[in-house]
Structure 1
């Protein structure tokens, strides 16, 4: 197997990427007043975003477990079924969409617009590294049905 920059970047599992991004967002929020937004009740807006993010993630995980297919992002080739219904009808990556929503809720809670940069970096990394690797594996495993699914359903939402 050829070692590429992309494969080197895959060493950290997605929950670690989310945690690292959240930590960077927290440090950015503590860094200074630049980018800070102070609105009454702003933190409470984070709660529905958090609830939706968790709901999407849990729904996807339950659907994957019910289908007896892998949840492991490092081994998409172990997927036993191509899921195209439920939350997978709206997003090819509902767990990563949930991760995004969790980070968005954190951004709102922290109230610092500079964290939009970390949120964008998360989306770029996940799309170009993690999701790209998974899509290659799934296309190789499921072929045309997966490629047809990709034309019908957006990657994020």
Structure 2
């Protein structure tokens, strides 16, 4: 069973809330951070949507907490660039939120913390399960495509 007991989307929301709660309001819409952060969030949304659509076309589960419905190794589309594009999208969105409400340091700390936590408690266990399910095919995929980018 996966070590992570918190669903990734909930974990993303916890990290985002940690940046949003102490933020100064109202958020100024005329600064570079707002526009750069908004662009990063838009990019993250496009990556997540593309990854979700690729999973749907492969008729396999998008639920990272349930492996009983995994029936295909998805390697096309955005999965040809990152083995974890949905988690990558979450990290990019956290950078965006951090830029909108805080500073570059806040944004980077949140995104790096998220990446470290997700790697240890979600991705590494997922990789072990996928290696069991898909064997040599998955190991070849891991050699060709990086975990994050």
* Structure-1-length-normalised TM-score: 0.84
In structure 2, stretches of 5+ residues that fail to align are 25-29
In structure 1, stretches of 5+ residues that fail to align are 31-38
Aligned counterpart for 2:141 among listed residues 132, 149, 156: 149
Q: Answer yes or no: is the 8 Å Cα contact 2:47–2:89 preserved in 1.
A: yes
* Structure-2-length-normalised TM-score: 0.88
SS at match of 1:114: helix
Q: CA deviation at 1:115?
A: 4.0
Q: Answer yes or no: is the 8 Å Cα contact 2:95–2:110 preserved in 1.
A: no
Query: Quick check: 1:60 aligned with 2:51?
Result: yes
Q: CA deviation at 1:22?
A: 0.3
Q: CA deviation at 1:11?
A: 1.4
Q: How many residues align?
A: 143
Could you tell me how far apart the structure 2 residues matched to 1:140 and 1:64 are?
19
Q: Deviations over 1:7-27 (max 9, x none)?
A: 2xx111000100000011123
Q: Answer yes or no: is the 8 Å Cα contact 1:28–1:114 preserved in 2.
A: no
Q: Answer yes or no: is the 8 Å Cα contact 1:76–1:138 preserved in 2.
A: no
Tell me the C-alpha RMSD between the 2 structures.
1.8
